[in-house]
Structure 1
Amino acid sequence: MKKALFTSLAFVLFASASAQKFTDAERTLTNSGSKQSLMRVLQVTDAADLKVLKAPSTDVNLKDESLPLLIDRMLATVNDPASPGVGIAAPQIGINRNVIWVQRFDKAGEPFEVYLNPKITWRSALLRKGTEGCLSIPDLNGEVLRNYTIHITYYDRNGKFRDEMIEGFTAVIFQHETDHLMGILFTDRLEQQKAQEYSLINGEVKLYLENKLRRQ
């Protein structure tokens, strides 16, 4: 077990070290405003936007000089009072890089936290079903099946490698946002789950419905 863990960690560190810095286009987009400036959220109703949203993202270079500004602008965007969310991924603002923000409902104060090069390395067989929406898909939501518990690895804003187990609604947000990094939308998951078979537990699929709907 120790050897396998070491190999996995070495792979993650190698992947991060080999990540390329931002392209000129990504840097120009990021630097087009201050850290308080909102970025335009891409929409599936626009063909050019959809192409970006459906494209897989690549790891971000943790030492890129434009990364701090991108992080701040993404946070400002997900906290837009006109259209607030509980999470956002870099592809949603036009940059196919592995950067996400997630609101941690499992922590005191429900803070937003940023995750760099996140990877889900394990998913529970137990599922939960709940309502999801998306900042990039206006006026639509659906009941999506998600793994109840996940294990995730990532780098924090200071470049420190971390990993943790996450469950419940917060785990759903992580799955939604990391799906964006693979070019997968929640509507794709809705189509996939039509063919899924699952067993109910006490009348639920570990059913966990939120009393308020916020977009991710």
Structure 2
Amino acid sequence: MSAQDEQAMLLRYLQTTRDSLLWKLEGLTEYDVRRPMTPTGTNLLGLVKHCAGVEFGYFGRTFGRDPEDAPAWLDEFDDDPQIDLWVPASETRADIVGLFTASWKNTGAVVEELGLDAVGRVPWWSGERAVITVRQAIVHVSMDLTRHAGHADIIREGIDGAAGLRADNSNLSHDDPLKWQEYYDKVERAAREAKA
């Protein structure tokens, strides 16, 4: 595989995760995209905001490129370590989605300009581990975004039952609510039997 093909493949996987994460916002009210769905406050729009910050961080400072459109709150973690995980009412969904897509453009520009083998230093990591290549940054960010897309899958299903990878491809075995109830009941029975 050529370096160009490898780069395209890595960026395609990253984009698939980004698209999946954004799809989880579609059709929901402002309240539903912002409401905390876990005891630690995890919410859909906050996950998107966090993922924008992740991309701006790993493809900004790590490679000596602080983009103009990076959010100011990237410098405010000491004041509020959760600043990137929730969205105040003064910020709109469009603001956050725009920030997320701006982070993609920045990532793409850095990857295109530097190539996969360029070396950077992650300022918030320590020691030799902090030295990474663009390739490693893409893999790391892909893993981080995929983890958060998984959080979003569960949160969205808890809000309105919507599940799956994308609107055009759920990646689920079927979409029959009765079959899902039968499956749920089977799993619940097995759990109850195991505890006895």
Please report the TM-score for the alignment, with normalisation by the length of structure 2: 0.30
Please report the TM-score for the alignment, with normalisation by the length of structure 1: 0.28
Greater fraction of residues in helix: 2
State which structure, 1 or 2, has the greater radius of gyration over its C-alpha atoms: 2
